[in-house]
A and B are shown apart, each in its own frame.
Chain A
């Protein structure tokens, strides 16, 4: 099995205006930089993007926001992005904010064939508006439905032609769940290795969830908040 495509341009073929995408990453950590850049160049618009965050003004999904390519964001936290806040408050951008754990589980459910689940998160808040409430063990829960996407785009550290993926550090975050929930899932990796080079015991995302894979041309891996301590 060989799912390798040449590059980001090749990988995003078939992503059209008004589609729904999932994009892995937490802040700028573990985001599919190369595919985002290719989508900026391809000028695809009207996108609904499911992603925990919306990047910063000049990196990550912020690049697509700047060019008004995103119609709607489904996220849990969108601070750190002035252009986003401006577009949202002015009503240019539709935003659906959902609790982070519910977002992760909704993606996981989407990929796992579970149409909906009950969670306590958000009960009694505006997140619960119009959602079914049920009590389990005396505690209120709200019904959350699964999320899927036309394309899921994830970023991993290493991958092989079968699509098996290994992530590094906290760059794992939403990537494994989103990989499962795309009708077509694209994986971009820092290092594409030959079949057999990944230890099967260490694979995080099984290749069955991946349809296209490529090695990113370059990774900036920008740090959002550089915090250090002094040696003493």
Chain B
């Protein structure tokens, strides 16, 4: 089974040289720590920066330089800064090659819910609806089950949706799955995780064809 860092490491393997990438808050943010050697990517943060760098050294924090999670950041050499309308032009206009975000639920036709629990938690969608509606390549990074042990990979989402039929790939602590016609197609198992465990933790339709390899994580 993977921890959050493991999920980030596995998704980092999906990065390709020259891509512009938007990372959501939570597990996706960790991906920036595991970029494979020889791969150059630029991170976009939707509050208005391309070329987001690592956190600043202590004492060098700048209140005017934050990411979409409101964390203090640095700008890489060659970074650029722009307003929110321009930022979402990049997103809606499909100039970003990969979007990685977290989710509370994903359904087996690619619907995603991650912004609201009616009556309990209403933080807002932020940029998530714009991102999922426009991105061609969306990976969801999340735990396979919630804190109560219930599956987050469902036949149908129960929470208010963020977007419909948009998620292409999911990487969880248990597995890598693609969303294809007919459900979640199991591609890889996390180290030490059996197909039975993945079946038990997946409520939506699961497609298992042939031998399912174990993930290779450096």
Residues of A whose CB lies within 8 Å of any CB of B are 26-30, 52, 75-80, 85, 88-89, 95, 97, 99-105, 107-108, 119-127, 157, 168-177, 204, 221-231
Contacts and interface: CB of A to CB of B under 8 A. Distances in A.
Interface in B148-169: 160-165
Contacts of B165: 124
Contacts of B125: 76-77, 97, 99-100, 127
A104 B85 contact: yes
Contacts of A174: 83-84
A124 B68 CA distance: 25
A174 B67 CA distance: 14
B64 A76 contact: no
A99 to B, nearest CB: 4
B64 A170 contact: yes
B129 A170 contact: no
A76 B72 contact: no
A88 B122 contact: yes
Chain B facing A: main interface SS: loop
A85 B84 CA distance: 25
Interface string B107-133: 000010000000100111111111001
8 contacts: A100-B84, A101-B127, A104-B87, A108-B85, A127-B129, A173-B84, A221-B64, A227-B61
A38 to B, nearest CB: 21
A229 B164 CA distance: 38
A131 to B, nearest CB: 13
Interface stretch (B12-20, B48-56, B200-208): B48-56
A227 B71 contact: yes
A125 B129 contact: yes
Contact of A78 (B48, B64, B123): B123
A142 to B, nearest CB: 9
A228 B119 contact: no
B34 to A, nearest CB: 15
B197 interface: no
B70 A224 contact: yes
B42 interface: no
Contacts of A170: 45, 47-49, 64-67, 81
A122 B88 CA distance: 14
B152 to A, nearest CB: 18
B82 A172 contact: yes
B47 A29 contact: yes
A75 to B, nearest CB: 6
Interface string B78-93: 0001111101100110
A171 B62 CA distance: 11
Given A100-B46, A229-B54, A124 B70 contact: no
Interface string B5-39: 00000000000000000000000000000000000
Interface string B90-112: 01100000000000000000010
Contact of B122 (A78, A104, A105, A121): A78
B88 A171 contact: no
B58 interface: yes
B83 A27 contact: no
B72 A228 contact: yes
A230 to B, nearest CB: 7
B57 A104 contact: no
Nearest to A109: B85
Given A104-B84, A124-B163, 19 more contacts: A89-B122, A99-B127, A99-B128, A101-B91, A104-B88, A105-B88, A120-B92, A121-B133, A123-B133, A123-B164, A170-B47, A170-B48, A171-B63, A174-B84, A177-B85, A225-B66, A227-B72, A228-B61, A230-B58
A85 B122 contact: yes
A77 B123 contact: yes
B127 A76 contact: yes
A172 B83 contact: yes
B18 to A, nearest CB: 24
A79 B114 CA distance: 13
A225 B62 CA distance: 11
B55 to A, nearest CB: 4
Contacts of A28: 63, 70
